[in-house]
Amino acid sequence: MQAMPIPNPLKRPRCEQCLRPVSYCLCEHITVVPSRTRVLILQHPDEQRHALNTGRLAVLGLKQAELLVGERFAQLGSLLAAEARVFLLFPGEQAQTPQPLAPGPEDAAPLLIVLDGTWRKARKILHENPVLNSLPRLALEAGQPSTYRIRQTGEFAAVSTIEAIVRTLTALEPGQDFSPVLVPFDVLIEQQIQAMGADVYRHNYKTDETKRPESGAIPNSGLLER
């Protein structure tokens, strides 16, 4: 009798759009939402391979969003020079809470730069790209709980990238409903909880919300290889 081949999670066929294993494809839950603000996500390479790559889901759900992967972005200087209005979504002493945009011509639409990675990796991107330090910053108020139940960073305001973007856009553009952007994210979280089993979830994450999961604690994490 021949041994059954052991399935290798990295070999599972993937959806080319959302990069999830085909059986967990999130695309049917994606709605593309328009915005005045354009979003540029600078994603740390480590984040790209994480199953909970919410930056990618944000780009798929927003009409005016783009994602670049790296640590140092050589093109940033010229890219920013061409912009009339840019904000960096990152905490800091001078950071402002996002306020509704004044009505204005389309070309005054701001560019919102979002760093996607753990806090440590996001700071690394900031360090490697000093041009970002000159930008006015926006920061979300602490205290809004995250629905991001399985990947707590242990640092303050641990919201996922996609939640941070949706909250910021909602504050900038209160007339637009950005909640559809979060739908595939909610489905993703449900998938991960089911995959790890309700018991494991309760044991690891319900009792201590700030506990950081071990990297191996999420079965089916389905590393996002390129």
- Whether residue 68 contacts residue 93, with contact meaning beta carbons closer than 8 Å, is answered with no
Amino acid identity of residue 85, one-letter, is R
Rounded to whole angstroms, how far apart are CA atoms 144 and 146? 7
- Tell me the closest approach of the beta carbon of residue 219 to Zn ion, in angstroms: 20
The backbone torsions φ and ψ at residue 129, rounded to the nearest 5 degrees and listed phi first, read -130, 75
Name the residue nearer to Zn ion (CB basis): 27 or 108.
Answer: 27
Q: How far is the CB of 12 from Zn ion (least distance, A)?
A: 13
Q: How far is the CB of 87 from Zn ion (least distance, A)?
A: 30
Contacts to Zn ion from residues 28-47, by CB under 5 A: none
For residue 182, give the nearest of 36, 38, 40, 29 by alpha carbon.
Answer: 29
- Answer for which of 9, 10, 27, 45 binds Zn ion (CB under 5 A) is 27
Q: Residues with Cβ < 8 Å from 36, sequence gap 6 or more? A: 101, 106, 109, 110, 172, 173
Q: Is 223 in the site for Zn ion (CB under 5 A)?
A: no
Does 15 participate in binding Zn ion (rule CB under 5 A)? yes
Find where tokens 């994606």 sit.
Answer: 30
Q: What are phi and psi of 113, to 5 degrees?
A: -100, 130
Residues in binding contact with Zn ion, number by CB under 5 A: 5
Window of 20-28, 33-41, 64-72, 87-95 that interacts with Zn ion by CB under 5 A? 20-28
Least distance between Zn ion and beta carbon 60 (Å): 8
Q: Which residues pair with residue 86 across a beta bridge?
A: 111
Question: Considering the rule CB under 5 A, would residue 18 count as an interface residue with Zn ion?
Answer: yes
Smallest distance from Zn ion to CB 27, Å:
3
Which range binds Zn ion by CB under 5 A, 13-21, 31-39, 184-192, 199-207? 13-21
User: Which H/E stretch holds residue 65?
Assistant: strand 65-69
Q: Which residues bind Zn ion (CB under 5 A)?
A: 15, 17-18, 25, 27
